[in-house]
Amino acid sequence: MAGHTGGTSARMSKRRVAGSGSADGDAGTAFWLMAPALTLYAVFTLLPIAATFWLSFNSSAGFNTSARFVGLDNYAKAAQDPIVWKSLVHTFLWLAYHVVMAGGLGLLLALAVSRLRVTQVFFRTAFFLPHLVSLAVVGVIWANIYDPFFGLLNTALTRIGLGAFTRGWLSDPALVLFSVNVASSWQGFGLYMLLFIAGLQNIDHSLYDAAEVDGANAFQKLIYVTLPGLREVTTFVVSLAMINGLKGFATVFVMTNGGPFYQSELITTYIYRLAFQSQDHGLAAVLCILLSLLALAITIVFNRWRARLSQ
Amino acid sequence: MLKFLARTTALAAMIAVSLPAHAETLKMWGPEQITEPLVAQLWNGIKVDFEKANPGVTVEFMPPTGTISNGAVQAAIQSDAGPDVILTNSGIGRISVVKNAKQVVPLTEQYEKRGWKDEIYPWLYTELKGQFGGEIYEVPDGLDALGIWYHKDLFAQAGWKMPATWAEFETLMKAIEETGLQPIAIGPRTPGSAGHLFGNLLQSASGKEVIGKALRREIAFDDPSVAAGAVRLQKLIEAGYIKKEMAGLDLDGASRLWFNKRAAMFVAGPWFTANARKAGYDLANAGYAPMPSDIKGADIPTGGVGWSWLVPVNSKQPELAMKWIDFMLSDAVMKKRAQDPASTMIYPREIPGVEPPTPVLKDIFAAAAGGVGYNPSVYLPGPVLDTYFQVIQGLISGQIGGEDGMKQIQAKMAEAK
């Protein structure tokens, strides 16, 4: 088999060596084959990135002819804008909430569901269903659940005698970001659950048998067998949750529009507000760059952490 | 062969005659409630009348998905696939957003050329001329008149009456609150709803003249004479007459509270008749009164231009868009709309001999007959609006005080100069 493979590659090498012109021809063909994809990438990715940079150095008028070069003014404006800092803090909090709540719930449910034999498919499907609902619709549903006067949550709390716990879930400054994140996490946990279930199925069952022989209880098996066995999936889920967290927009936009009084403002919602409502494209472009840098920084830190974990 | 040629020529001639000379499509955006059957019926009728009056023209309604406030109009124009003419929630604040971004066509010349100047109230024309140094970018379609809506039956049962003074109004709110009802509902998650009540409070506390001066930058917003309304709101929140939880409500949530009679009062304009119809509320039970004030002449609705026609710079049919506006301003269309059960607004000129289709509209027209005050939501410069709405949310959720809030608005006013 090895000889056969070696023979094939030798023949291919010979063919390449036989005519250097044909190697050039391959490269040319490859270029033309890649050209449509490269063009699309340039038009839809590179050009918008370049345009964003260009906009960030221009006045707020956007794409019309009155846009003028203002240097670093927009960057200075962003640094002095308290809402930018507030939304930055909220974005980090949002990310953390999403990783813990959506990822955590995904793990817990995966652990619970994977033990089921007959009803596993039903529960897997049922828990995954919210993921099929668009975030905008999820926002509308949860805004109604949180309605302080007619909402399901406060009504249920009152009915079961926990009226003291009723809240203005979307009006309480200390709660609003968390409340909205619950809605967003509810939509996202199903996917993470499926990933964890797949990870659980890949754990070698003999490890559990060995642990049992050693007298490990359920909790010890979880700590010493299950969680280490899920390490790869966990890092993947965390990275996915962080990406989804950074993209957080729709639920906030629908449920609070960043309020009350900027208490749920994220970088993404502030970008939308600046670009499309105030037409301040310059400042919005600066925040887009800030968000990209944030994503880049998180990716680098996360990858280093993952590399250290796998060593 | 000759026969065949003759037949073909005749057929081609018939097709040519039956086809309009210049098939044109006018893409129109608005109105908001066109998904409501009653509104759709009215607008489809207008469309048919326009098409009859302009052979070869087809009017295409684009999905009514937004306003300038939520960025939808700007996005539609910027996409270059937007409408030829737009009906949108307007006002100088919102118009300045699209005007500054050079997204709409100046229409000043058309006011003279097409006689639009004489189709709207003279005071309205003067006001429009004064907004952008003489240049006009909108043609008013409807005016707003914001005041208190209340349930006639609830008030009658409890023996409540809409009072004349602020002190009495506070007493009324206390009495309502003691019955377990919410005295007044507000949904500040929706910018408009936040501004409706707040504008009423500002005018009630300071009077129309003072608010007008603040909007013209002759007095600072944080001047105590202007900030009084914000301080009033703060006190109403502290007294529990307006619940902090309402900061989490939007217009629909607050309306639901009112329609279900869990709240006694609500601040809205004539357009609320459409919301009431949709909610199945008996409009005969709706009472309307301006916010009480201790200042003489201040107990009038707040308002301003509520809806306007705009022509985007990238309109594919600008001339047809102008014709459409001509048509909308004509006597026939104006009367048709004013008498229609779907009517939800005050028109930009007096329409003699027209009976409002609902009693509450009659009350609103009567309250607004002497003019309306300023709803800052439609007069503030675009860059200030967001802060204005957020400050109202901050006040209602108890995060800031009235004076602090007005300082923040003033700071944005100074920046927007």
Residue range A35-48, pLDDT digits in tens? 999 999 999 999 99
Q: What are B221-259's pLDDT values in tens digits?
A: 999 999 999 999 999 999 999 999 999 999 999 999 999
Taking the C-alpha atoms of residue B53 and residue B124, their distance in angstroms, rounded to an integer, is 29
Taking the C-alpha atoms of residue B54 and residue B46, their distance in angstroms, rounded to an integer, is 12
Q: What are B216-227's pLDDT values in tens digits?
A: 999 999 999 999
Confidence of residue B12 (pLDDT cuts 50, 70, 90): low
Predicted model pTM: 0.83
- Between CA B372 and CA B379, with CA B375 as vertex, the angle to 5 degrees is 110
Taking the C-alpha atoms of residue A185 and residue A180, their distance in angstroms, rounded to an integer, is 9
The whole-number pLDDT of residue A65 equals: 54
Radius of gyration of chain B (CA): 24
User: Who has greater pLDDT, B219 or B351?
Assistant: B219
The alpha-carbon gap from B17 to the nearest alpha carbon of chain A, in Å, equals 43
Taking the C-alpha atoms of residue A43 and residue A30, their distance in angstroms, rounded to an integer, is 20
Taking the C-alpha atoms of residue B239 and residue B183, their distance in angstroms, rounded to an integer, is 11
The alpha-carbon gap from B95 to the nearest alpha carbon of chain A, in Å, equals 11
Per-residue pLDDT, averaged over A144-153, amounts to 95
Taking the C-alpha atoms of residue A207 and residue A225, their distance in angstroms, rounded to an integer, is 7
Tell me the average pLDDT of chain B.
90
Q: What are B276-320's pLDDT values in tens digits?
A: 988 999 999 999 999 999 999 899 999 988 889 999 999 999 999
Q: What are A60-99's pLDDT values in tens digits?
A: 654 555 678 889 999 999 999 999 999 999 999 999 999 9
The alpha-carbon gap from A208 to the nearest alpha carbon of chain B, in Å, equals 49
CB-closest option in B182, B253, B382 to A147: B253
Asked whether the predicted pLDDT for residue B135 surpasses 80, the reply is: yes
- Between CA A274 and CA A282, with CA A279 as vertex, the angle to 5 degrees is 70
Confidence of residue A276 (pLDDT cuts 50, 70, 90): confident
- Tokens 């968390």 belong to A178
Asked whether the predicted pLDDT for residue B111 surpasses 60, the reply is: yes
* A170 to chain B: closest CA residue: B248
Please indicate whether, in this complex, the C-beta atoms of B189 and A66 are within 8 angstroms of each other: no
Contact A137, A253 (CB under 8 A): no
Q: What are A235-263's pLDDT values in tens digits?
A: 889 988 888 888 889 999 999 999 999 99
The whole-number pLDDT of residue A309 equals: 74
Taking the C-alpha atoms of residue A187 and residue A178, their distance in angstroms, rounded to an integer, is 14
Taking the C-alpha atoms of residue A139 and residue A251, their distance in angstroms, rounded to an integer, is 5
Please indicate whether, in this complex, the C-beta atoms of B189 and A261 are within 8 angstroms of each other: no
CB-closest option in B101, B382, B396 to A62: B101
Tokens of B61: 């309604």
The whole-number pLDDT of residue B47 equals: 95
Taking the C-alpha atoms of residue B109 and residue A280, their distance in angstroms, rounded to an integer, is 29
Please indicate whether, in this complex, the C-beta atoms of B102 and A65 are within 8 angstroms of each other: yes
Please indicate whether, in this complex, the C-beta atoms of A148 and B256 are within 8 angstroms of each other: no
* Interface mutation vs chain B, best among A63, A145, A261, A283, most B CBs within 10 Å: A261
Per-residue pLDDT, averaged over B72-94, amounts to 84
- Tokens 């310059």 belong to A282
- Amino acid occupying residue B231: V
Q: Which residues pair with B85 in a beta bridge?
A: B28
Tell me the average pLDDT of chain A.
88
Taking the C-alpha atoms of residue B264 and residue A70, their distance in angstroms, rounded to an integer, is 52
- Tokens 């749920």 belong to A264
- Between CA A229 and CA A308, with CA A300 as vertex, the angle to 5 degrees is 40
Nearest one of A259, A174, A90 to B248, comparing CA atoms: A259
- The DSSP secondary structure of A58-84, one letter per residue, reads B-TTTTSTT--B-TTHHHHHHHH-HHH
Give the rounded percent of residues in chain A with a pLDDT score beyond 70.
90
Instruction: Give contacts of A170 with chain B, Cβ < 8 Å.
Output: 189, 247-248
Contact B54, B21 (CB under 8 A): no
Asked whether the predicted pLDDT for residue A11 surpasses 60, the reply is: no
Taking the C-alpha atoms of residue A56 and residue B350, their distance in angstroms, rounded to an integer, is 48
Burial class of residue A92 (count of CB atoms within 10 Å of its CB; 0-12, 13-18, 19+)? middle
- How many C-beta atoms lie closer than 10 Å to residue A216's C-beta? 16
Which residues lie below 8 Å from residue B301, measured CB to CB, with a gap of 6+?
B144, B145, B146, B147, B269, B290, B364, B367, B368, B372, B373
Nearest one of B147, B129, B140, B144 to B334, comparing CA atoms: B140
The whole-number pLDDT of residue A21 equals: 54
The whole-number pLDDT of residue A64 equals: 55
The whole-number pLDDT of residue A5 equals: 44
Please indicate whether, in this complex, the C-beta atoms of B245 and A171 are within 8 angstroms of each other: yes
- Amino acid occupying residue A297: A
Instruction: Give contacts of A258 with chain B, Cβ < 8 Å.
Output: 390
The whole-number pLDDT of residue A19 equals: 47
Q: Which residues pair with B58 in a beta bridge?
A: B25
Instruction: Give contacts of B244 with chain A, Cβ < 8 Å.
Output: 168, 171-172
Tokens of A27: 């490269």
Instruction: Give contacts of B248 with chain A, Cβ < 8 Å.
Output: 146-148, 168-172, 176, 256, 260
Nearest one of B283, B285, B302, B290 to B343, comparing CA atoms: B283
Taking the C-alpha atoms of residue B213 and residue B232, their distance in angstroms, rounded to an integer, is 20
The answer to which of A19-28, A180-189, A257-266, B36-45 has the lowest mean pLDDT is A19-28
How many residues belong to chain A?
Answer: 311
The whole-number pLDDT of residue B53 equals: 95
Contact A197, A114 (CB under 8 A): yes
Taking the C-alpha atoms of residue B96 and residue B183, their distance in angstroms, rounded to an integer, is 35
Per-residue pLDDT, averaged over A122-127, amounts to 91
* A263 to chain B: closest CA residue: B394
Q: For strand B139-151 and strand B286-289, is the pairing parallel, antiparallel, or unpaired?
A: antiparallel
- How many C-beta atoms lie closer than 10 Å to residue A126's C-beta? 12
For CA atoms A38, A39, A44, A50, the dihedral sign is positive
Per-residue pLDDT, averaged over B385-405, amounts to 95
Please indicate whether, in this complex, the C-beta atoms of A148 and B243 are within 8 angstroms of each other: yes
Per-residue pLDDT, averaged over A201-222, amounts to 92
Taking the C-alpha atoms of residue A19 and residue B396, their distance in angstroms, rounded to an integer, is 79
Contact A236, A230 (CB under 8 A): no
Per-residue pLDDT, averaged over A274-297, amounts to 89
Helix axes B272-279, B251-259, angle to 10 degrees: 60
Contact B76, B82 (CB under 8 A): yes
Taking the C-alpha atoms of residue B199 and residue B95, their distance in angstroms, rounded to an integer, is 19
The whole-number pLDDT of residue B5 equals: 54
The alpha-carbon gap from B78 to the nearest alpha carbon of chain A, in Å, equals 9
Radius of gyration of chain A (CA): 26
Asked whether the predicted pLDDT for residue B75 surpasses 90, the reply is: no
Taking the C-alpha atoms of residue B9 and residue B11, their distance in angstroms, rounded to an integer, is 5
- Between CA B237 and CA B246, with CA B241 as vertex, the angle to 5 degrees is 65
Contact B29, B64 (CB under 8 A): yes
- The DSSP secondary structure of chain A, one letter per residue, reads -HHHHHHHHHHHHHHHHH-HHHHHHHHHHHHHHHHHHHHHHIIIIIHHHHHHHHHHTB-TTTTSTT--B-TTHHHHHHHH-HHHHHHHHHHHHHHHHHIIIIIHHHHHHHHHHHT-SSSHHHHHHHHHGGGGS-HHHHHHHHHHHT-TTT-HHHHHHHHTT-GGG---TTT-TTTHHHHHHHHHHHHHHHHHHHHHHHHHHTS-HHHHHHHHHTT--HHHHIIIIIHHHTHHHHHHHHHHHHHHHHT--HHHHHHTTT-STTTT--HHHHHHIIIIIS--HHHHHHHHHHHHHHHHHHHHHHHHHHHHHH-
Per-residue pLDDT, averaged over B386-415, amounts to 95
Helix axes A120-128, A104-114, angle to 10 degrees: 160
Contact A242, A298 (CB under 8 A): yes
ipTM for the assembly: 0.80
